[in-house]
Amino acid sequence: MTATATSPVLANDFYAPLKARAAEIEAQYRNLTPVSAGLFEQSKGLFPGGFTRDAVIRKPYSPFIAKGEGPILTDSDGRAIVDFWFNASSLPLGHADPRVVAAVNRQLGLGTAYFAPTETELALARILCERLPSAEQARFANSGSEAVMIALRLARGFTGRDLVVKCEGSYHGAYDDVQWSVAPAKDKFGAPDSPVPVPDSAGLPESSDRILVLPYNNPEILRREVRARADRVAALIIEPLANRMGLIPPTPEFLAAARELSDEIGAVLIFDEVIAFRLGYHGAQGFVGMTPDVTTLGKVIGGGFPVGAVVGKTDVMAASDASRRERVTHAGTFNANPVTMSAGRATMEALTPDVYDSINAKGAKMRAGLEAATAGVPLTITGAGSFFKINATAEDITDYRTAVTVDGAWEEVLSLGLFNAGFMLTPHLHGCCSAVTTDEQIDGFLAAFTDLITP
Protein backbone atom coordinates (compact mmCIF):
# COMPACT_ATOMS: atom_id res chain seq x y z
CA MET A 1 0.00 0.00 0.00
CA THR A 2 1.37 3.44 -0.80
CA ALA A 3 0.82 6.90 0.72
CA THR A 4 -2.03 6.08 3.02
CA ALA A 5 -2.15 8.83 5.60
CA THR A 6 -5.90 8.20 5.51
CA SER A 7 -5.50 4.50 6.29
CA PRO A 8 -8.78 3.24 7.79
CA VAL A 9 -6.89 1.26 10.44
CA LEU A 10 -4.96 3.36 12.94
CA ALA A 11 -1.28 2.46 13.13
CA ASN A 12 -1.17 1.61 16.83
CA ASP A 13 -4.35 -0.43 16.67
CA PHE A 14 -2.81 -2.40 13.84
CA TYR A 15 0.71 -2.95 15.22
CA ALA A 16 -0.23 -3.63 18.85
CA PRO A 17 -1.82 -7.11 18.52
CA LEU A 18 1.21 -8.70 16.82
CA LYS A 19 3.65 -6.96 19.17
CA ALA A 20 1.61 -8.29 22.10
CA ARG A 21 2.42 -11.77 20.75
CA ALA A 22 6.21 -11.15 20.77
CA ALA A 23 6.92 -13.43 23.78
CA GLU A 24 4.72 -16.23 22.42
CA ILE A 25 6.38 -16.03 18.95
CA GLU A 26 9.85 -16.02 20.53
CA ALA A 27 8.97 -19.04 22.68
CA GLN A 28 7.79 -20.87 19.56
CA TYR A 29 11.06 -19.96 17.80
CA ARG A 30 13.14 -21.25 20.72
CA ASN A 31 11.10 -24.44 20.68
CA LEU A 32 11.80 -24.95 16.97
CA THR A 33 15.52 -24.18 17.14
CA PRO A 34 17.14 -25.78 20.22
CA VAL A 35 20.28 -26.79 18.30
CA SER A 36 20.77 -23.23 17.00
CA ALA A 37 20.24 -21.94 20.55
CA GLY A 38 23.03 -24.23 21.81
CA LEU A 39 25.36 -23.20 18.98
CA PHE A 40 24.67 -19.55 19.74
CA GLU A 41 25.74 -20.15 23.35
CA GLN A 42 29.08 -21.42 22.00
CA SER A 43 29.31 -18.42 19.64
CA LYS A 44 29.03 -16.01 22.52
CA GLY A 45 32.38 -17.27 23.84
CA LEU A 46 34.07 -17.02 20.45
CA PHE A 47 32.57 -13.91 18.85
CA PRO A 48 31.79 -10.60 20.55
CA GLY A 49 28.07 -10.67 21.25
CA GLY A 50 27.91 -14.08 19.52
CA PHE A 51 28.22 -12.78 15.92
CA THR A 52 31.07 -12.42 13.44
CA ARG A 53 29.00 -10.66 10.79
CA ASP A 54 26.81 -7.67 11.62
CA ALA A 55 24.34 -8.29 8.80
CA VAL A 56 23.08 -11.55 10.31
CA ILE A 57 22.51 -10.23 13.84
CA ARG A 58 19.01 -11.27 14.95
CA LYS A 59 17.11 -11.37 18.19
CA PRO A 60 17.11 -13.62 20.17
CA TYR A 61 19.71 -15.43 17.98
CA SER A 62 20.05 -16.44 14.35
CA PRO A 63 19.22 -19.92 13.13
CA PHE A 64 22.39 -21.78 12.15
CA ILE A 65 22.28 -23.15 8.61
CA ALA A 66 23.59 -26.56 7.67
CA LYS A 67 22.70 -26.70 3.97
CA GLY A 68 21.29 -24.69 1.07
CA GLU A 69 19.80 -26.29 -2.02
CA GLY A 70 17.83 -24.34 -4.65
CA PRO A 71 15.35 -22.17 -2.71
CA ILE A 72 15.57 -24.22 0.49
CA LEU A 73 17.79 -23.78 3.53
CA THR A 74 18.08 -26.56 6.09
CA ASP A 75 18.89 -25.28 9.54
CA SER A 76 20.95 -27.10 12.16
CA ASP A 77 17.71 -28.31 13.73
CA GLY A 78 16.86 -30.05 10.47
CA ARG A 79 14.01 -27.71 9.48
CA ALA A 80 13.50 -26.80 5.83
CA ILE A 81 13.11 -23.04 5.37
CA VAL A 82 12.13 -21.28 2.14
CA ASP A 83 14.82 -18.67 1.55
CA PHE A 84 13.60 -15.25 0.49
CA TRP A 85 16.89 -13.40 1.00
CA PHE A 86 19.52 -15.66 -0.64
CA ASN A 87 22.53 -14.39 1.31
CA ALA A 88 21.61 -10.74 0.93
CA SER A 89 20.39 -11.28 -2.66
CA SER A 90 23.76 -12.61 -3.85
CA LEU A 91 22.42 -15.95 -5.19
CA PRO A 92 20.08 -15.18 -8.11
CA LEU A 93 20.19 -18.85 -9.22
CA GLY A 94 19.57 -20.13 -5.68
CA HIS A 95 21.79 -22.31 -3.53
CA ALA A 96 24.20 -24.86 -5.01
CA ASP A 97 23.14 -24.32 -8.61
CA PRO A 98 24.52 -27.36 -10.52
CA ARG A 99 26.18 -25.20 -13.20
CA VAL A 100 28.00 -23.12 -10.59
CA VAL A 101 28.95 -26.18 -8.54
CA ALA A 102 30.38 -27.86 -11.67
CA ALA A 103 32.40 -24.78 -12.62
CA VAL A 104 33.81 -24.43 -9.11
CA ASN A 105 34.61 -28.16 -8.84
CA ARG A 106 36.46 -27.99 -12.14
CA GLN A 107 38.51 -25.07 -10.87
CA LEU A 108 39.23 -26.65 -7.47
CA GLY A 109 41.05 -29.47 -9.21
CA LEU A 110 43.15 -26.94 -11.10
CA GLY A 111 44.20 -24.97 -8.02
CA THR A 112 42.53 -22.15 -6.17
CA ALA A 113 44.85 -19.15 -6.43
CA TYR A 114 47.91 -18.25 -8.46
CA PHE A 115 50.29 -15.29 -8.34
CA ALA A 116 49.28 -14.46 -11.92
CA PRO A 117 46.16 -13.60 -13.96
CA THR A 118 43.82 -16.18 -15.51
CA GLU A 119 41.67 -16.43 -18.61
CA THR A 120 38.60 -16.71 -16.39
CA GLU A 121 39.04 -13.18 -15.07
CA LEU A 122 39.13 -11.93 -18.66
CA ALA A 123 35.89 -13.81 -19.37
CA LEU A 124 34.05 -12.37 -16.39
CA ALA A 125 35.36 -8.82 -16.99
CA ARG A 126 34.25 -9.10 -20.62
CA ILE A 127 30.74 -10.12 -19.57
CA LEU A 128 30.48 -7.15 -17.20
CA CYS A 129 31.79 -4.69 -19.78
CA GLU A 130 29.44 -6.04 -22.44
CA ARG A 131 26.37 -5.85 -20.22
CA LEU A 132 26.87 -2.60 -18.31
CA PRO A 133 26.43 0.38 -20.64
CA SER A 134 29.02 2.50 -18.79
CA ALA A 135 31.67 -0.19 -18.25
CA GLU A 136 34.78 -0.11 -20.42
CA GLN A 137 37.34 -1.50 -17.96
CA ALA A 138 37.25 -3.40 -14.68
CA ARG A 139 39.16 -4.15 -11.47
CA PHE A 140 38.21 -7.06 -9.22
CA ALA A 141 38.21 -7.10 -5.43
CA ASN A 142 36.90 -9.40 -2.68
CA SER A 143 33.84 -7.56 -1.43
CA GLY A 144 31.48 -4.74 -2.27
CA SER A 145 33.06 -2.71 0.51
CA GLU A 146 36.47 -3.02 -1.12
CA ALA A 147 34.96 -2.08 -4.48
CA VAL A 148 33.57 1.12 -2.94
CA MET A 149 36.89 1.87 -1.26
CA ILE A 150 38.75 1.55 -4.57
CA ALA A 151 36.11 3.48 -6.51
CA LEU A 152 36.45 6.43 -4.13
CA ARG A 153 40.22 6.27 -4.35
CA LEU A 154 40.00 6.24 -8.14
CA ALA A 155 37.65 9.24 -8.08
CA ARG A 156 39.93 11.14 -5.73
CA GLY A 157 43.04 10.22 -7.72
CA PHE A 158 41.36 11.14 -11.01
CA THR A 159 40.02 14.52 -9.85
CA GLY A 160 42.70 15.48 -7.32
CA ARG A 161 39.85 16.37 -4.93
CA ASP A 162 38.78 14.96 -1.58
CA LEU A 163 35.09 15.40 -0.88
CA VAL A 164 32.62 12.56 -1.50
CA VAL A 165 28.86 13.12 -1.52
CA LYS A 166 26.76 10.27 -0.14
CA CYS A 167 23.06 10.06 0.71
CA GLU A 168 21.60 9.84 4.16
CA GLY A 169 20.36 6.28 4.74
CA SER A 170 22.56 4.73 2.04
CA TYR A 171 24.74 1.75 2.94
CA HIS A 172 27.88 1.41 0.83
CA GLY A 173 29.74 -1.19 2.90
CA ALA A 174 32.22 -1.24 5.73
CA TYR A 175 34.78 1.33 4.51
CA ASP A 176 35.29 4.21 6.97
CA ASP A 177 34.51 7.00 4.51
CA VAL A 178 31.01 5.73 3.77
CA GLN A 179 30.00 4.55 7.24
CA TRP A 180 28.33 7.87 7.87
CA SER A 181 24.59 8.45 8.30
CA VAL A 182 23.65 4.92 7.27
CA ALA A 183 21.06 4.62 10.02
CA PRO A 184 21.36 7.83 12.05
CA ALA A 185 19.21 8.23 15.17
CA LYS A 186 16.38 10.75 14.88
CA ASP A 187 17.75 12.88 17.72
CA LYS A 188 21.11 13.24 15.93
CA PHE A 189 20.37 13.62 12.22
CA GLY A 190 19.51 17.35 12.16
CA ALA A 191 17.20 19.23 9.81
CA PRO A 192 15.85 17.41 6.72
CA ASP A 193 17.41 19.86 4.26
CA SER A 194 20.87 19.82 5.89
CA PRO A 195 21.47 16.40 7.45
CA VAL A 196 24.19 16.20 10.08
CA PRO A 197 26.74 13.45 9.24
CA VAL A 198 26.37 10.85 11.98
CA PRO A 199 29.00 8.10 12.41
CA ASP A 200 27.56 4.61 11.95
CA SER A 201 30.30 3.08 14.07
CA ALA A 202 32.55 3.93 16.97
CA GLY A 203 36.17 4.39 15.97
CA LEU A 204 35.70 6.29 12.70
CA PRO A 205 38.11 9.10 11.81
CA GLU A 206 36.75 12.65 11.50
CA SER A 207 34.52 13.00 8.41
CA SER A 208 34.01 16.68 7.85
CA ASP A 209 36.53 17.27 5.06
CA ARG A 210 35.91 14.03 3.27
CA ILE A 211 32.17 13.29 3.32
CA LEU A 212 29.08 15.38 2.63
CA VAL A 213 25.75 13.73 3.55
CA LEU A 214 22.67 14.84 1.58
CA PRO A 215 19.06 13.63 1.38
CA TYR A 216 18.20 10.91 -1.16
CA ASN A 217 15.79 11.94 -3.92
CA ASN A 218 16.09 15.70 -3.37
CA PRO A 219 17.55 17.25 -6.56
CA GLU A 220 17.20 20.84 -5.32
CA ILE A 221 19.33 20.29 -2.21
CA LEU A 222 21.80 18.22 -4.22
CA ARG A 223 22.25 21.09 -6.69
CA ARG A 224 22.55 23.74 -3.98
CA GLU A 225 25.05 21.89 -1.78
CA VAL A 226 27.21 20.43 -4.53
CA ARG A 227 27.48 23.72 -6.43
CA ALA A 228 28.52 25.45 -3.19
CA ARG A 229 31.53 23.07 -3.04
CA ALA A 230 32.09 22.63 -6.78
CA ASP A 231 35.91 22.70 -6.64
CA ARG A 232 36.11 20.17 -3.81
CA VAL A 233 33.78 17.37 -4.84
CA ALA A 234 35.56 14.27 -6.17
CA ALA A 235 32.54 11.97 -6.41
CA LEU A 236 28.85 11.52 -5.93
CA ILE A 237 28.06 7.97 -4.86
CA ILE A 238 24.44 6.93 -5.35
CA GLU A 239 22.50 3.70 -4.92
CA PRO A 240 20.20 3.10 -7.90
CA LEU A 241 18.17 0.95 -5.50
CA ALA A 242 18.40 2.11 -1.90
CA ASN A 243 18.51 -1.07 0.16
CA ARG A 244 18.36 0.28 3.71
CA MET A 245 15.63 2.79 2.82
CA GLY A 246 13.34 -0.04 1.75
CA LEU A 247 14.78 -1.14 -1.60
CA ILE A 248 13.41 2.02 -3.24
CA PRO A 249 14.57 3.33 -6.61
CA PRO A 250 15.70 6.95 -7.05
CA THR A 251 13.49 9.40 -8.91
CA PRO A 252 14.54 10.19 -12.51
CA GLU A 253 14.87 13.87 -11.48
CA PHE A 254 17.35 13.02 -8.72
CA LEU A 255 19.48 10.86 -11.01
CA ALA A 256 19.36 13.47 -13.77
CA ALA A 257 20.53 16.14 -11.33
CA ALA A 258 23.39 13.91 -10.15
CA ARG A 259 24.49 13.26 -13.75
CA GLU A 260 24.22 16.91 -14.76
CA LEU A 261 26.11 18.14 -11.67
CA SER A 262 28.91 15.62 -12.06
CA ASP A 263 29.41 16.76 -15.66
CA GLU A 264 29.17 20.43 -14.69
CA ILE A 265 31.81 20.33 -11.94
CA GLY A 266 34.01 17.51 -13.26
CA ALA A 267 33.21 15.04 -10.46
CA VAL A 268 32.92 11.28 -10.88
CA LEU A 269 29.40 9.87 -10.71
CA ILE A 270 29.47 6.45 -9.04
CA PHE A 271 26.50 4.10 -9.04
CA ASP A 272 26.79 1.59 -6.24
CA GLU A 273 25.20 -1.46 -7.86
CA VAL A 274 26.53 -3.98 -5.36
CA ILE A 275 22.93 -4.97 -4.69
CA ALA A 276 21.17 -3.24 -7.60
CA PHE A 277 22.95 -5.09 -10.42
CA ARG A 278 20.37 -7.84 -9.76
CA LEU A 279 17.67 -5.59 -11.28
CA GLY A 280 18.38 -6.44 -14.88
CA TYR A 281 20.66 -7.81 -17.56
CA HIS A 282 22.14 -4.34 -18.09
CA GLY A 283 22.27 -3.62 -14.38
CA ALA A 284 20.35 -0.96 -12.54
CA GLN A 285 21.70 1.57 -15.04
CA GLY A 286 19.79 -0.27 -17.77
CA PHE A 287 16.76 -0.35 -15.50
CA VAL A 288 16.79 3.38 -14.61
CA GLY A 289 18.07 4.52 -18.01
CA MET A 290 21.00 6.62 -16.76
CA THR A 291 24.71 5.88 -16.87
CA PRO A 292 27.37 6.72 -14.28
CA ASP A 293 31.12 7.10 -14.83
CA VAL A 294 32.00 4.29 -12.45
CA THR A 295 29.97 1.38 -11.05
CA THR A 296 30.70 -0.69 -7.99
CA LEU A 297 29.62 -4.33 -8.07
CA GLY A 298 29.59 -7.33 -5.75
CA LYS A 299 27.15 -10.03 -4.65
CA VAL A 300 25.66 -11.68 -7.80
CA ILE A 301 28.81 -11.37 -9.90
CA GLY A 302 30.65 -13.79 -7.58
CA GLY A 303 28.19 -16.68 -7.91
CA GLY A 304 28.08 -17.10 -4.14
CA PHE A 305 31.78 -16.45 -3.47
CA PRO A 306 33.33 -13.30 -1.97
CA VAL A 307 33.64 -10.67 -4.69
CA GLY A 308 33.72 -7.01 -5.60
CA ALA A 309 34.44 -5.10 -8.78
CA VAL A 310 34.83 -1.56 -9.98
CA VAL A 311 33.97 -0.97 -13.62
CA GLY A 312 33.92 2.30 -15.48
CA LYS A 313 34.99 4.62 -18.21
CA THR A 314 38.58 4.21 -19.34
CA ASP A 315 39.59 7.77 -18.45
CA VAL A 316 38.76 7.28 -14.75
CA MET A 317 39.88 3.64 -14.56
CA ALA A 318 43.22 4.60 -16.13
CA ALA A 319 44.10 6.36 -12.89
CA SER A 320 45.21 2.90 -11.73
CA ASP A 321 47.20 2.10 -14.88
CA ALA A 322 50.54 0.59 -13.81
CA SER A 323 52.44 2.56 -16.46
CA ARG A 324 51.65 5.84 -14.68
CA ARG A 325 54.01 7.32 -12.11
CA GLU A 326 51.35 9.03 -10.00
CA ARG A 327 48.75 6.31 -9.83
CA VAL A 328 45.97 4.86 -7.73
CA THR A 329 47.24 1.60 -6.32
CA HIS A 330 44.98 -1.39 -5.78
CA ALA A 331 46.32 -4.69 -4.44
CA GLY A 332 44.74 -7.83 -2.96
CA THR A 333 46.05 -11.39 -2.60
CA PHE A 334 42.73 -12.92 -3.65
CA ASN A 335 41.54 -10.31 -6.18
CA ALA A 336 40.13 -12.16 -9.21
CA ASN A 337 40.93 -15.56 -7.69
CA PRO A 338 39.93 -18.25 -10.17
CA VAL A 339 37.37 -19.95 -7.91
CA THR A 340 35.31 -16.76 -7.56
CA MET A 341 35.82 -15.93 -11.22
CA SER A 342 34.57 -19.41 -12.28
CA ALA A 343 31.50 -19.20 -10.06
CA GLY A 344 30.81 -15.64 -11.21
CA ARG A 345 31.21 -16.51 -14.87
CA ALA A 346 28.89 -19.54 -14.60
CA THR A 347 26.30 -17.42 -12.80
CA MET A 348 26.44 -14.52 -15.23
CA GLU A 349 26.24 -16.87 -18.23
CA ALA A 350 23.15 -18.49 -16.73
CA LEU A 351 21.59 -15.06 -16.12
CA THR A 352 20.21 -14.48 -19.60
CA PRO A 353 17.66 -11.71 -20.29
CA ASP A 354 14.87 -14.32 -20.08
CA VAL A 355 16.04 -15.44 -16.64
CA TYR A 356 16.10 -11.84 -15.43
CA ASP A 357 12.55 -11.37 -16.77
CA SER A 358 11.40 -14.48 -14.97
CA ILE A 359 13.03 -13.49 -11.64
CA ASN A 360 11.57 -10.00 -11.90
CA ALA A 361 8.12 -11.44 -12.69
CA LYS A 362 8.30 -13.42 -9.44
CA GLY A 363 9.20 -10.20 -7.58
CA ALA A 364 6.25 -8.44 -9.21
CA LYS A 365 3.92 -11.30 -8.23
CA MET A 366 5.12 -11.10 -4.64
CA ARG A 367 4.71 -7.30 -4.46
CA ALA A 368 1.23 -7.49 -6.02
CA GLY A 369 0.22 -10.19 -3.52
CA LEU A 370 1.55 -8.12 -0.64
CA GLU A 371 -0.23 -4.98 -1.90
CA ALA A 372 -3.50 -6.91 -2.02
CA ALA A 373 -2.95 -8.42 1.43
CA THR A 374 -2.19 -5.02 2.99
CA ALA A 375 -5.00 -2.94 1.46
CA GLY A 376 -6.45 -0.69 4.13
CA VAL A 377 -3.80 -1.34 6.78
CA PRO A 378 -0.79 0.84 7.67
CA LEU A 379 1.83 -1.18 5.80
CA THR A 380 3.75 0.01 2.75
CA ILE A 381 5.16 -2.36 0.16
CA THR A 382 8.29 -1.26 -1.67
CA GLY A 383 10.87 -2.88 -3.94
CA ALA A 384 11.65 -3.30 -7.63
CA GLY A 385 12.67 -6.11 -9.95
CA SER A 386 13.04 -9.27 -7.88
CA PHE A 387 13.11 -7.33 -4.58
CA PHE A 388 10.34 -6.64 -2.09
CA LYS A 389 10.17 -5.03 1.34
CA ILE A 390 7.34 -4.86 3.85
CA ASN A 391 7.45 -1.59 5.80
CA ALA A 392 5.53 -1.05 9.04
CA THR A 393 4.46 2.47 8.17
CA ALA A 394 1.66 4.15 6.24
CA GLU A 395 4.12 6.72 4.79
CA ASP A 396 5.09 6.87 1.15
CA ILE A 397 8.82 6.02 1.40
CA THR A 398 11.06 8.24 -0.69
CA ASP A 399 14.13 8.84 1.50
CA TYR A 400 15.67 8.06 4.89
CA ARG A 401 13.37 10.38 6.84
CA THR A 402 10.26 8.62 5.52
CA ALA A 403 11.87 5.16 5.80
CA VAL A 404 12.69 5.72 9.45
CA THR A 405 9.00 6.12 10.35
CA VAL A 406 8.63 2.32 10.45
CA ASP A 407 7.74 0.43 13.61
CA GLY A 408 10.94 -1.63 13.75
CA ALA A 409 9.79 -3.77 16.70
CA TRP A 410 6.69 -4.89 14.77
CA GLU A 411 8.86 -5.79 11.76
CA GLU A 412 11.13 -7.96 13.91
CA VAL A 413 8.22 -9.85 15.48
CA LEU A 414 6.71 -10.47 12.05
CA SER A 415 10.06 -11.67 10.67
CA LEU A 416 10.41 -14.18 13.53
CA GLY A 417 6.80 -15.31 13.05
CA LEU A 418 7.50 -15.86 9.34
CA PHE A 419 10.58 -17.89 10.22
CA ASN A 420 8.46 -20.05 12.51
CA ALA A 421 6.14 -20.58 9.54
CA GLY A 422 9.14 -21.65 7.41
CA PHE A 423 10.21 -18.47 5.57
CA MET A 424 13.46 -16.50 5.84
CA LEU A 425 13.63 -12.72 5.26
CA THR A 426 15.80 -10.14 7.01
CA PRO A 427 14.72 -9.09 10.51
CA HIS A 428 13.30 -5.92 8.92
CA LEU A 429 11.48 -7.77 6.15
CA HIS A 430 13.66 -7.26 3.09
CA GLY A 431 13.19 -10.06 0.61
CA CYS A 432 13.93 -11.18 -2.93
CA CYS A 433 13.03 -14.00 -5.29
CA SER A 434 15.55 -16.05 -7.24
CA ALA A 435 15.28 -18.18 -10.37
CA VAL A 436 14.48 -21.22 -8.21
CA THR A 437 11.63 -19.55 -6.29
CA THR A 438 8.32 -21.23 -7.14
CA ASP A 439 4.82 -19.75 -7.41
CA GLU A 440 3.74 -22.14 -4.64
CA GLN A 441 6.42 -20.73 -2.34
CA ILE A 442 5.23 -17.18 -3.03
CA ASP A 443 1.61 -18.21 -2.40
CA GLY A 444 2.63 -20.05 0.77
CA PHE A 445 4.51 -17.01 1.99
CA LEU A 446 1.55 -14.71 1.28
CA ALA A 447 -0.77 -17.04 3.21
CA ALA A 448 1.58 -17.14 6.23
CA PHE A 449 1.99 -13.37 6.08
CA THR A 450 -1.77 -12.76 5.92
CA ASP A 451 -2.32 -15.14 8.80
CA LEU A 452 0.21 -13.34 10.99
CA ILE A 453 -1.11 -9.83 10.33
CA THR A 454 -4.74 -10.84 10.86
CA PRO A 455 -5.63 -10.40 14.55
Ligand X SMILES: Cc1ncc(COP(=O)(O)O)c(C=O)c1O
Q: List interacting residues with ligand X (CB under 6 A).
A: 88, 143-145, 148, 171-174, 239, 243, 272, 274-275, 298
Distance in Å, CB of 273 to ligand X, minimum: 7
**Which CB sits closer to ligand X, 397 or 452?**
397
**Which CB sits closer to ligand X, 97 or 239?**
239
Distance in Å, CB of 399 to ligand X, minimum: 16
**Which CB sits closer to ligand X, 144 or 246?**
144
**Which CB sits closer to ligand X, 155 or 452?**
155
Distance in Å, CB of 144 to ligand X, minimum: 2
**Which CB sits closer to ligand X, 139 or 172?**
172
Please state, in angstroms and rounded to a whole number, the distance separating the CA atoms of residues 441 and 306: 28
Distance in Å, CB of 283 to ligand X, minimum: 13
Nearest residue to ligand X, by Cβ distance, number only: 144
**Which CB sits closer to ligand X, 343 or 379?**
343
Distance in Å, CB of 172 to ligand X, minimum: 5
Distance in Å, CB of 173 to ligand X, minimum: 3
Distance in Å, CB of 416 to ligand X, minimum: 22
**Which CB sits closer to ligand X, 167 or 261?**
167
